């Protein structure tokens, strides 16, 4: 197997706006690019109990031993070349993420939350560090990785930090199929909580929701995520050609963020995601 296998297979979680395993070094050409498009059934805003279907393109790849990948509206670039023949992958590089939550009134189905008004687009810039290892549990080709990304909004939206730790495991079932499991969280600054979850008296009057001011008290873990992924090659080999990929994800909004009427009254702390996409690896 080659690194192209991991690049193609792990596109699934990028298509589904969630973490994914990085491609690891192996024999032969290391350069590869995987592009795809998927449909995602997801909450209409963070904490909503209404769902919507969205679609979007994603990509990941490796050029001259440097890896890059998208995670939903975010771009990660690993600035450390992957040249370790032992399968160890040290990761470090920049991250840019766009946060679209509640930036469009049309995307919010709940009348009360829509009455709170839309939020500005967040542009979160920062970096990540991580480590991955190929050949750890089931075979010489499975992959276990852990990373932490730290970003800050620079566009004047929530104007706060977001810390995202993640642990991911990926294993090929054959040259045609794979499965993966990812666990991640999101730790946010107090300005983030106040911006997205607090409700001012004026907003309460407009929406009918109860005023709330606890989410912006201090920083804390906002949510945890669990994703199960899988994929199947249509061309007979995940290292090249077409593949179908899918995901089922569960997230739980935590603590004082879940206690906000935006979630507790108008939404649900339990958040589900389903995704199906098609990808092509060059």
Label residue 4 by pLDDT band (50, 70, 90): very low
- Condensed to tens digits (0 to 9), the pLDDT of residues 14-25 reads 443 333 333 433
Question: Is the model's pLDDT at 26 over the cut of 70?
Answer: no
233-259 mean pLDDT: 92
Q: Report whether 189 contacts 169 (CB < 8 A).
A: no
CB count within 10 Å of CB 117 equals: 12
Distances, alpha carbon 72 to alpha carbons 81, 142, 162, in Å: 23, 24, 16
pLDDT reading at 12 higher than 70: no
Q: Is the pLDDT of residue 9 over 80?
A: no
Secondary structure class of 186 (helix, strand, coil): strand
Identify the band that residue 281 occupies on the pLDDT scale cut at 50, 70 and 90: confident
Residues paired with residue 227 on neighbouring β-strands, in sequence order: 182, 249
Residue identified by tokens 């089922």 is: 248
For domain 3-281, give the fold.
Answer: Porin (2.40.160)
Please report which confidence band the pLDDT of residue 224 belongs to, taking 50, 70 and 90 as the band edges. Answer: very high
Tell me: the pLDDT tens digits for 74-129?
A: 899 999 987 667 789 899 999 999 999 999 988 899 999 999 999 999 999 999 99
Residue 23: predicted pLDDT: 40
pTM for this prediction: 0.88
Two structure tokens written together for 137: 């549990």
The overall average pLDDT reported for the chain is: 87
Tokens of residue 239, six digits:
């290292």
Q: What Rg do the C-alpha atoms of the chain give, in angstroms?
A: 19
30 confidence band (pLDDT: 50, 70, 90): low
- For the chain, which residues make up each domain, given as ranges? 3-281
Mean pLDDT of the 224-238 span: 91
Tokens of 264: 């507790």
Which residues make beta-bridge pairs with 254?
none
Euclidean distance between the first and final Cα of the chain, in Å? 15
Residue 182: half-sphere exposure toward Cβ, Cα within 13 Å: 30
Report the C-alpha gap between 194 and 197 in whole angstroms. 6
Span 192-206, mean pLDDT? 97
pLDDT band for position 141 (cuts 50, 70, 90):
confident
> Contact at 8 Å (CB) between 89 and 145?
yes
Of 118-122, 139-143, 162-166, 223-227, the least confident: 139-143
Contact 22, 32 (CB under 8 A): no
* Residue pair 95/70 in contact by the 8 Å Cβ criterion: no
Task: Please give the residue that has the higher pLDDT: either 1 or 55.
Answer: 55
């Amino acid at each position: 197997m080659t690194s192209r296998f991991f690049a193609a297979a792990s596109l699934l979680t990028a298509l589904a706006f969630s973490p994914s395993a990085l491609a690891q070094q192996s024999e032969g050409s290391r350069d590869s690019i995987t592009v795809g498009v998927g449909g995602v059934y997801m909450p209409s805003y963070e904490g909503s109990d209404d769902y919507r279907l969205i679609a979007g393109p994603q990509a990941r790849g490796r050029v001259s031993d440097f890896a890059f990948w998208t995670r939903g509206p975010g771009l990660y670039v690993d600035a450390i070349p992957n040249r370790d023949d032992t399968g160890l992958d040290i990761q470090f590089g920049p991250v840019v993420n766009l946060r679209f939550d509640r930036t469009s009134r049309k995307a919010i189905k709940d009348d009360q939350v829509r009455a709170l008004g839309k939020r500005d687009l967040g542009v979160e810039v920062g970096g990540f560090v991580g480590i991955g290892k190929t050949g750890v549990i089931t075979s010489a080709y499975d992959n276990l990785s852990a990373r932490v990304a730290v970003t800050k909004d620079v566009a004047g939206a929530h104007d706060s930090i977001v810390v995202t730790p993640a642990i991911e495991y990926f294993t090929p079932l054959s040259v045609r199929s794979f499965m993966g499991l990812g666990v991640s969280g999101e730790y946010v600054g107090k300005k983030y909580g106040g911006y997205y979850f607090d409700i001012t008296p004026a907003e309460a009057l407009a929406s009918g929701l109860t005023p709330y001011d606890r989410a912006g008290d201090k920083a804390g873990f906002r949510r945890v995520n669990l994703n199960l992924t899988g994929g199947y090659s249509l061309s007979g080999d995940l290292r090249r050609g077409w593949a179908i990929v899918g995901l089922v994800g569960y997230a739980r909004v935590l603590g004082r963020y879940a206690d906000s009427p935006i979630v507790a009254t108008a939404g649900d702390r339990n958040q589900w995601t389903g995704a199906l996409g098609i990808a092509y690896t060059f």
